[in-house]
Structure 1
Amino acid sequence: MMRRPQAPDDPAARIRWLRPKPPLSGAAKIPDSKVGQLLTLLDRSGIPRELEELLKDRPGPKGVRPRVVLAGLLLSAYYTGRATVADAWRILHYSLEPRARAWLNIPDRPPAGPSARIASSKRLYRGLDTITTVLDPVRHDRRSRLPQRHADFHAAIWDSSEGRTAAARLQTLANRLVLATVRMAHQRGHLRGWNGDVGVDATSVPVVAHPDNRRRGTASVEITAGWHFKGGTGDKTFGYSATLAIAAHHRDHDDETPKAYPQLCLGFELDTPTVRTGPNAVTILTQIAELGLPAGILAADRAYTGCSPLSFQTPVRRLGYRLALDYKVKERGLQGSWRGAPLVDGSLMCPLTPAPLIHATTGADDDTVRLRSDELREKIEARASYHFKLKEGPDARGAIRMQCPASGPSPSVNCARRDRLRPRASTPTAMPARVIDLSNPLGRALPAAARPTVHIPETEHFAPPPTEAMPQVCCAGSITVPADAEAADWRLAKYRQDVPYLHTPWLNAYRPIRSHNEGANGRFKSGTLDIGNSKHRPAPGQVTQTLLLAVMLTVANLTVLEAWLTERAGPDHLTEADYDATGPLPPLTTQVIASPATANGRHPPPDAR
């Protein structure tokens, strides 16, 4: 049995035994252009300035500035794939050129001797600890397990109003760093080929800490973590859930080749698994909308279909997105009604739709839906003629106007009830010749003989009931379909989607967007930069994990952009001036790792903007 090595008794030997240790064979030098790029990105996110404002009234020495700590973590994640303070310390003191050292006010020479190395390393650790302290709604010791009752008390503070306010500030601050890469790509025109489609999904973010120990009555070091269950397999991981929004696209029937764009992570939210699933996605989409980016189709799995309409479906529609959702077995088929029109698999249909078409997917399991038989495929395609048609797009509250399939200039069915209740204008005997635009679907309406005919009850032919007894959708020219559950049935707000379920447009939207989601998750969790490896971000606590995950996703977006540009236009030809970290703003007087003046007597340059 091997024993853990013990620290020596000699003080000098103990210092040499402690970490951090310098690189064994010398560290590779990092070019100033890369340091300047990351610093400019960091400063334009506004995070360093906001942290400085939060820390300006703290008593005691200022220590290492947040800008230096975050810059070191960005460099560490970019060059090692790990967001650790130890790697950040090695890079800051052993890998930077003189110009980059001046930008960050790092001493010209590495620390001399083990005591100086340990002192400079501890200052960097304390710098990160200072950031997490000011952002944490309830600070406690995370170096050891707490009794379960104490941990429950701290976790309850996270769920209080004050805790949620602090958590929202943390998430907004961390997401600014990721959005800085998106803003840069948008300003440089790299997202011109993106049509606004977004895929939202929650992926597991495991942690180093172990779960609660019920036998001993102690809680996990990560008091707000939980079990993340992977849908379909039942596998579970202890840690957090990260909601990622990925830029995606649907397949257009007329154009099979979409325009090129980098598939970036548009934002993230780190939270306890299975908690606030819908609100976390809405928070990300709201921040995306503030950048002025387009809103297209949003595809999400069944975890988001099960959310309350007030927390997901309604706010997403009000942001301008069209929903493409999936359903569980018990949710397929007839789901409700609105103004007399049945809601079938998320689409409003004619009240006289044949029952075999309405119940074509009732009780169908996942295998039946994925491997559709010819009979099921025919029934699903036959539904298209009975779907209500969009008349007016969404207003400020997300409400839309829809009309009967037998109405409008291009009806898809023949209906005697509609002709009786709303007679069409008389048609002249001699129609003038006109040119038909084949690119306009309204001008390509099928002739009446080629359209399916709605079969009304026989009694209605001989004794038409009064208008009050008719469904409202049959009496009105069009109906308003609200987005919120307060003005409509909750089933309509929950299950309605803007792409007909299992039809070709839905398959061309849902499957590619979900595939892009899974592909991005796999890319971010593989290779050198692996957000799924808990050892790449070992610092405990939800606050620290959120900041470190933001750093890693920012670097992941940068690598996606660099690979995308290299594949299409060769290496990026940006000059070093494009990544210059100097700027016109006056420098802050906060003390950093070294003295205000460097060894050659020159003062460090101001922060970049």
Structure 2
Amino acid sequence: MTSSLDRHAHIAKLRSHRLPVPDAEVQEVLAELDDSGLLAEIEPLVHAPTGRRRKLAVQALLLGMCLAAARNTGTVTLTSVANTLFFTLSDQAREQLGIPRYPDHSQGFEAAYGVVRRLFHRIVKAVDPSPLPKNHRIDRDLVARLLSEADPDELARKRSIMLRIANLILAMSLRDAHVLLEGRWNGSAALDATVIGTYAKGLSSNSPVTASDPEAGWYIRTAKHKDPLVTDGPAQDRVKKRLFGYDACLVVARDPDHDGAPLPDGSADPDVVPSLVVAFSLDKPSHRPAEVALEALRHVDARYPRGYLAGDRLYPDQKPHKFQLPIRALGYQPVYDYAKDQLGVQAQFAGAELIEGNWYCPSMPQPLKDATKDLVDKKIDKQTWINRIRQRTTHLFMPKQRTDAEGHRRMMCPAEANRVQCPLKTYTLGRGIHLPLIDPAPSPVGPPTACAQRTITIPPEAGAQLWQPLQYGTEDWQRVYFRLRNAIEGMNGFGKDPLYERLEYGGTRRIRGIAAQAILLAFQLAHANKRKLTTWAGSIALNGHRPHRRPTRRRKTKPLGSWTPEGYLTEPSK
């Protein structure tokens, strides 16, 4: 039998096997922190002119959180931060940061942990946009009273600071990729809300008390969420997924002009930067989706360009003044797919008709107007739909001038653009039999403005909810929309990998409250970015040498132009 003395010796040996942190890594992280702007943002929040001197600086705490995230696939726990700072740094590094020494036993560790915990919760309290206490269940009447007594302006200010700090943490992961993004990314991005769990247990909505994480809520996915073309019937009510937590609205950068396929030698293309999370926001599931999306977009680095912005069918359903017009003011051009009740003619302006996001001649044949509706209703086959989408191009209103600073744009009808011949504009007749002849319907009040004038000026408010610059269903639209949507779906799956960041699992963020969740999630997203960049860089053949690893194998996909709202054609179109 092993003696007690031998057993203690073995345990002491195991405890001594902590991996020390190299000084070079410490200095590298400190340099990143200095460049990030985090210290300038956080220090004023916790500065106290009176009282006892803090035993740990903000710089040291952030260093410990960065090191802990790097060693634990993005997961930051305060115990790992305390262990890293007080027991794995060299004496020189601790002296440089002013970290006190504690003995390596239970009482010493608890003292070190208390120092870390107090400073972290002090930061969280300073940026918490909720007046509700955490870690225990609260009576609903008390919740109502606390919310009514809170200052909404102060809560909004704290939320703004919370998101700014979280996005500064995320931006640290893009430090080495910034030059690549500036030179090889056109500013296009995808937007999506992905659910992340919380460590608290969710309660029923009619419960007399709240959960111990009172800002979280239930995420419920039904069949309608999976297939928004389902608009009625019992199928839409089937629950596919239920999770108590938050919605993280991610902005993922992706250049849709490049497909990211491996080069002929099998290595990754160095000119195609992988999809990366460049900003995010956090809130209750399905709570203020438009406002939360705009919060995330406003935290995209101002140095980056602005391009196309793709979102799922949730976003065309928002109020224009809350989402569509603000994103255009930010410089983005929306790219949408549509639900069943958003197909066909949805708006008119000066006679022009908005059909699936684009302005068309009012005399366009009805079968072309109803092409997508007929496909969804199974009145036509997929090849017929593709042919009609291509025929729509002839009847499209074309830009006459660039959009002005206020979003107004001068447009000309297809007859003025030399695409068709129109009897209402006799000077367009006789241009050749290759141009279709428009057959306008007679009207007792005369032709609409678009048919009586050479051009019309379309304001940004006209059809703003569903408008998009690319013609719906065309190969250009498919290229942009699907590459952007694939980018964010791929990033969601990448970050939720159970072997790495496990974003969806609440056990990786065990501190309750939206402020703590936002900060801890930022470290996980930053780790996912760094992991993806490392994988990409390792797949590139530098200076003619073989790459360190093979790039991700690509499945064969159907060619652009063969997609329909219900899938792909059996045979590619010719």
Aligned residue in 1 for 2:559: none
Aligned match for 1:456, one of 433, 440, 446? 440
Q: CA deviation at 1:547?
A: 0.9
Q: How does 1:437-586 map to 2 (within 5 A)?
A: 448-457=432-441, 469-484=446-461, 488=462, 492-526=463-497, 527-568=499-540
**Aligned CA distance change for structure 1 residues 520 and 372 (closer, same or farther; 3 Å):** farther
Alignment partner of 1:449: what SS? coil
Matched, 1:173 2:173: no
CA contact (8 A) 2:279 2:296 kept: yes
Q: 1:340 aligns with which of 341, 351, 365?
A: 351
Evaluate the alpha carbon distance shift between residue 534 and residue 503 of structure 1 in structure 2; reply closer, same or farther with a 3 A threshold.
same
Q: 1:76-155 to 2 correspondence within 5 Å? A: 76-81=68-73, 82-107=75-100, 111-154=103-146
What is the CA–CA distance in structure 1 between the aligned matches of 2:514 and 2:309, rounded to whole Å?
A: 28
Is residue 237 of structure 1 aligned with residue 243 of structure 2? Answer: yes
1:29-428 matched pairs, under 5 angstroms: 29-57=20-48, 59-61=50-52, 62-81=54-73, 82-107=75-100, 111-154=103-146, 160-182=152-174, 184-186=176-178, 188-212=179-203, 217-230=208-221, 231-232=225-226, 234-251=240-257, 259-288=271-300, 291-362=302-373, 365=376, 373-408=382-417, 411-420=418-427
Q: CA deviation at 1:156?
A: 5.8
Shift of 1:144: 1.6
User: Equivalents in 1 of 2:94, 2:394: separation in Å?
Assistant: 68
DSSP 3-state at the match of 2:287: coil
How far does the alpha carbon of each residue in 1:259-306 deviate from its partner, in whole angstroms, 9 at most, with x for none? 411321110001111122112222332332x52211111110011111
Counterpart-to-counterpart distance in 1, 2:330 and 2:68: 37
For 1:133-190, what per-residue CA distance to the aligned partner results, in whole angstroms no more than 9, with x for missing partners? 111244554222111222344456789333223212211222122224335522x335
1-side partners of 2:49 and 2:288: how far apart?
33
Extract unaligned runs of 5+ from structure 2.
1-11, 227-238, 264-268, 544-574
Q: Distance in 1 between matches of 2:292 and 2:457?
A: 29
Residue type matched to 2:475 in 1?
A: T
Distance 2:105 2:294 in 1: 51
Conserved? CA contact 2:421–2:437, under 8 Å:
yes
> CA shift at 1:333, angstroms?
1.0
Instruction: Report the Cα distance in structure 1 between the residues aligned to 2:458 and 2:147, rounded to whole angstroms.
Output: 41
Whole-Å separation in 1 of the counterparts to 2:520 and 2:86: 20
Measured in 1, the distance between the counterparts of 2:156 and 2:182 equals 33
**CA separation in 1, counterparts of 2:391 and 2:22?**
62
Q: Distance in 1 between matches of 2:381 and 2:314?
A: 23
Q: Do the aligned residues in 2 keep the contact of 1:334 with 1:362 (CA within 8 Å)? A: no
- Percent identical: 28
CA drift of 1:498 comes to 1.1
CA-CA distance at 1:392 after TM superposition:
2.5
| Separation of aligned partners in 2, 1:172 and 1:514 | 26
Distance in 1 of aligned mates of 2:370 and 2:474: 15
SS of equivalent residue, structure 2 residue 137: coil
Deviations 1:519-555 (A, max 9, x none): 0011111132222221111111111001111122222
Give the corresponding residue for 1:11.
Answer: none
Matched residue count: 508
CA contact (8 A) 2:375 2:385 kept: no
- What amino acid is aligned across from residue 247 of structure 1 in structure 2? A
Corresponding residue number in structure 1 for 2:557: none
String of CA shifts for 1:72-93, please: whole Å, max 9, x gaps: 1221111112211011112222
Distance 1:22 1:121 in 2: 22
Q: Secondary structure in 2 aligned to 1:309?
A: coil
Q: Distance in 1 between matches of 2:350 and 2:138?
A: 56
Q: Pick 1 or 2: higher relative contact order, CA cutoff 8 A, min separation 6.
A: 1
**What residue identity is the alignment partner of 1:482?**
P
Aligned AA (1:509): V
Q: Distance in 2 between matches of 1:475 and 1:228?
A: 52
TM-score normalized by the length of structure 1: 0.77
- Tell me the distance in 2 between the aligned counterparts of 1:184 and 1:86: 29
- CA positional deviation for 1:376: 1.6
* Contact preservation (8 Å) 1:29, 1:97: yes
Give, in whole Å, the separation in 2 of the partners of 1:229 and 1:213.
13
Which one has a bigger Cα radius of gyration? 1
One-letter amino acid of the structure 2 residue matched with residue 41 of structure 1 = E
Q: Is the 8 A contact 1:148 1:218 kept in 2?
A: yes
TM-score (norm 2): 0.81
* CA 197–23 in structure 1, closer or farther in 2 if over 3 Å, else same: farther
Tell whether the 8 Å contact from 1:414 to 1:454 is kept in structure 2 after alignment: yes
Please report the RMSD computed on the Cα atoms of aligned residues, expressed in angstroms: 3.1
Per-residue Cα deviation, 1:496-530 (whole angstroms, up to 9, x for no partner): 11111122221111111100000001111113222
* Structure 2 Cα separation of the partners of residues 377 and 36 of structure 1: 58
Unaligned runs of 5+ in 1: 1-20, 428-446, 572-609
CA distance in 1, matches of 2:151, 2:283: 11
Indicate the SS of the match to 1:204: strand
SS in 1 for 2:279: strand
Letter paired with 1:280: V
Distance 1:252 1:177, change over 3 A: closer
CA-to-aligned-CA distance 1:469-512 (integer Å, 9 cap, x gap): 2211122222222223xxx3xxx010111111122221111111
